[in-house]
């Protein structure tokens, strides 16, 4: 089978032919029809952490057809269409046993630690990482495995906070932020304020359900804070921060009302100084969120199957070595209006 691997840091993806793996035990071989492209892969390609061992077959938003199964596999048959939960752990520790592979200390994610979606097929270590996506566009389904799951795990953390009505603020409306707004709308939340520096993206946020739009570009922070407090009628019950710079973290914290919760998701990075007295006196919570569990992915897929989740914009490109390289170049340049999905 063909794989489209990065052979050295910063290089283009190169096509090579490898022996097609034969699944054993609980392993499942999935022929990829759709492979989403995540910004994480831009960092993998350039080895931003300096800790990677090349070659790497990246790509972790994978959907396709089961073409072979190991002798211990149950519930999945050749010919089935499946979405892959790529966040696989060791399979034996307490986290993995509890269905929290993404919290495993010995993570072995597909598309990072194991070969992933930039290939003709992927070897999935266990059938418990596969989900039925009958009835959903498989291109959209692929994006649920990382973008959808990350956004869902974050937004569900701010729901049900004390405060009626719930006033939710979403900071940053790139791919993840738009998905967060689509999910909040699907979950019946309509008091959503989108904060973003780009007017075009703010308009996309509106079409997906954001009631209030705040452009934070030309401002040191004070006017943005005032605009959010105005839009939310005095403060947010929940803030999901998809940027998570020092500046946006402070902004998110400052617009919380009593019992409010800030959920940092973005990996922009930075430092923040907080007025510590506000944390006890306003009973505030700060809870980070990073990807999500298999159970949460199943809930996102069910939401998509219900028809309530509006598909976010998808840009299709070919699943080839050039397709991988072009997609990552475009993502790095920030010129993509939506999620790129490579299609076989």
89 is an interface residue for Zn ion by CB under 5 A: yes
96 is an interface residue for Zn ion by CB under 5 A: yes
Q: Quote the least distance from Cβ 149 to Zn ion, whole Å.
A: 9
Residue among 12, 68, 90, 211 that touches Zn ion (CB under 5 A) = 90
Decide whether 130 or 146 has the Cβ nearer to Zn ion: 146
Pick the stretch among 16-24, 38-46, 179-187, 282-290 that binds Zn ion (CB under 5 A): 38-46
Q: How do 13-17 and 2-6 pair as beta strands?
A: antiparallel
Pick the stretch among 5-13, 89-97, 179-187, 227-235 that binds Zn ion (CB under 5 A): 89-97
Residue among 33, 35, 40, 245 that touches Zn ion (CB under 5 A) = 40
Decide whether 95 or 189 has the Cβ nearer to Zn ion: 95
Please say whether the beta carbons of 44 and 59 come within 8 A: no
Residue among 5, 30, 38, 151 that touches Zn ion (CB under 5 A) = 38
Cα-based torsion angle of the residue sequence 128, 129, 134, 139 in order, rounded to the nearest 10 degrees? 180
289 is an interface residue for Zn ion by CB under 5 A: no
93 is an interface residue for Zn ion by CB under 5 A: yes
Enumerate the H helices of the chain as residue ranges: 40-45, 94-97, 138-143, 149-158, 175-186, 199-207, 222-231, 246-254, 278-281, 294-305, 321-333
Task: Give burial (CB, 10 Å; 0-12/13-18/19+) of 174.
Answer: buried
Distance CA 67, CA 216 (A): 49
Residue tagged 């492979």 (tokens): 35
146 is an interface residue for Zn ion by CB under 5 A: yes
104 is an interface residue for Zn ion by CB under 5 A: yes
Decide whether 32 or 251 has the Cβ nearer to Zn ion: 32
117 is an interface residue for Zn ion by CB under 5 A: no
How many of the chain's residues bind Zn ion (CB under 5 A)?
Answer: 8
Distance CA 69, CA 78 (A): 7
Decide whether 126 or 258 has the Cβ nearer to Zn ion: 126
Helix, strand or coil, per DSSP, at residue 237: strand
Interface ranges with Zn ion (CB under 5 A): 38, 40, 89-90, 93, 96, 104, 146
């Amino acid at each position: 089978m063909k794989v489209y691997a990065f052979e050295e840091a910063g290089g283009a993806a190169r096509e090579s032919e490898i022996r097609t793996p034969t699944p054993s035990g609980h392993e499942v071989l999935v022929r990829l029809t759709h492979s989403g492209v995540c910004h994480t892969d831009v960092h993998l390609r350039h080895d931003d952490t300096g800790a990677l061992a090349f070659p790497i077959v990246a790509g972790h938003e994978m959907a396709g057809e089961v073409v072979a199964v190991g002798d211990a596999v149950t519930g999945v048959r050749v010919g089935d269409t499946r979405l892959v939960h790529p966040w696989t752990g060791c399979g034996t520790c307490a986290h993995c046993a509890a269905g929290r592979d993404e919290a495993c200390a010995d993570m072995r994610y597909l598309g990072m630690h194991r070969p992933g979606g930039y290939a003709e097929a992927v070897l999935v270590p266990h059938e418990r990482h596969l989900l039925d996506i009958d009835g959903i566009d498989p291109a959209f389904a692929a994006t649920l495995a990382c973008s959808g799951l990350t956004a869902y795990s974050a937004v569900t953390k701010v729901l049900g906070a004390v405060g009626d009505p719930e006033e939710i603020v979403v900071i940053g409306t790139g791919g993840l932020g738009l998905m967060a707004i689509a999910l909040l709308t699907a979950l019946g939340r309509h008091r959503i304020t989108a904060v973003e520096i780009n007017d075009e993206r703010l308009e996309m946020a509106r079409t997906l359900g954001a009631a209030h739009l705040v452009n934070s570009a030309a401002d040191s922070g004070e006017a943005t804070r005032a605009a959010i407090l105005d839009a939310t009628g005095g403060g947010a019950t929940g803030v999901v921060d998809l940027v998570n710079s020092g500046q946006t973290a402070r902004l998110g914290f400052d617009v919380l009302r009593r019992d409010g919760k800030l959920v940092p998701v973005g990996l922009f990075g930075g430092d923040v100084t907080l007025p510590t007295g506000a944390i006890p006196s306003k009973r505030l919570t700060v809870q980070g969120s990073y990807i999500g569990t298999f159970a949460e992915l199943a809930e996102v897929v069910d939401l998509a199957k219900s028809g309530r989740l509006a598909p976010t914009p998808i840009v299709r490109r070919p699943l080839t070595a050039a397709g991988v390289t072009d997609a990552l170049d475009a993502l790095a340049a920030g010129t993509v209006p939506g999620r790129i999905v490579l299609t076989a």
